[in-house]
Amino acid sequence: MLKNYFKIYLKIAAENRLYTFLSLFGISITIMFVMIFSMTITKITSGSGPEKDLKNTVFCWRAKSVPVKNGKRSMGYSISRCGKWISETHFKNIKSADIVSMYDGPESWEFILNGKYQKKKQTRTDAEYWKIFNYKFLQGRPYTNEEVTSGANLAVITRSLSVLLFGQEKDVLGKTVHYNSTDLVITGVVEDPPLTDQNAVGDLFFPYTQLKFGINSDNYLGGFITAFKGKSPEQLKEIRKEVQDVVSRLDVADTTQALYIPGPNSQLEKMMIGYGDPEDYSPGVSLLKYLLIVLAFILLPAINLMALNFARIHERGEEIAIRKSFGASSGMLRRQFLYENILMTLAGGVIGIILSYLVVILLGNSLTINLDFFSRVPVTFSFNYKVFAVSLAACLIFGLLSGFLPAIRLSKMKPALYLKGGEI
């Protein structure tokens, strides 16, 4: 039976080329966008390059401070990254984490080189930064805890910055990079991180102790992110609990302001919170919001395909009426139409997957996705079995959504009435 349905599908597709083209075009373009977006987001949240162990890393990256007067919270509040004091004095001492690192950045670094304007990124870090993120060192080494504590004028640079500053020199260790009014001695050169990385970012890295302010200030807000690394989901839960215990103690002890620091959050949670109020974040609400967006994205082309299917039924009216007259049941006709529709959507899905690969390969980094107000990442093709399975599932849902109502209408046709000039 399925073999016969397949033969009928091929014949109908060949006879109605315009309909076939419009159907495949709508499906393949939709699947292409879904694939590109989902592969890029999957690569960002699962990690690559220095962030390849992102699943075992969580971050304290936002802090909210609300002034308190006479025991009541005011209407105004401030949101920023975490302050140097709270990161260095409290978060760095979290015992449940295997590694804890604090870093400030990335920030823009603008300079003139050989008469040309250059714009790079600089990140100030501690020594543990190089243990949290797995950079590939091409030359030299990272700076040590002792060097960070002493405020040594050292730096690690990326390969691209090395080429920009020193050309094709093979050994740049011991050379200096002039940053603001300081000459930083290069201790290491690392491979450039992928452009999809959101945490391991920068061209120039140097000890955060080069900052000369705020070390003894009890300010909760500042420019620091603290990363915590564990080995399992259970350990990450312990890290979150210990961090929140610290935040609760600080909040209770301070009668002048209320403190809220979420998480520590995973990379996915960071993206879902964005730059909004972290207190308003709810995993269930955020997930529902994104699911509704995806559903709307799938429904729109499904409705368009459904309209094409209704037109297709009218074109095949005589065939359907004759088959019903010779004993074809309503259930048989419904199954055939849904089968044809699913074959069409699967074909469109395969074309969409191929198109997503070709678009990324041909257009390279010229296509980007906005993650937030300040961050854009290039689209990427990174084959992932989960993404592929979800895309196939989307094709099946697409086929069922766009074929169900037309199939019901088709199966209710009255052959005698239609052959006398009536409507389906």
pLDDT digits (tens, 9 = 90+) for 215-262: 445 578 888 999 999 999 899 999 999 999 999 998 888 888 888 888
Same-domain check for residues 39 and 144: no
Same-domain check for residues 233 and 94: yes
Note the pLDDT tens digit of each residue in 65-115. 888 887 777 777 888 888 888 998 899 999 999 999 999 878 888 888 888
Give 190's strand partners: 137, 158
Q: What is the number of domains present in the chain? A: 2
Max Cα–Cα distance, the chain, nearest Å: 95
Contact, 30 vs 246, CB < 8 A? no
The count of residues in the chain is: 424
pTM exceeding 0.85? no
Same-domain check for residues 40 and 76: no
Same-domain check for residues 109 and 255: yes
Same-domain check for residues 229 and 334: no
Lowest average pLDDT, out of 298-302, 347-351, 357-361, goes to 298-302
Same-domain check for residues 221 and 179: yes
Contact, 81 vs 223, CB < 8 A? yes
Note the pLDDT tens digit of each residue in 404-415. 666 676 666 665
Residue scoring higher pLDDT (224 or 299) = 224
Same-domain check for residues 133 and 163: yes
Give the residue numbers spanning the domain of 234: 62-264
279 located within any domain: no
Same-domain check for residues 301 and 377: yes
- Which residues contact residue 7 at a Cβ distance below 8 angstroms, ignoring those fewer than 6 apart? none
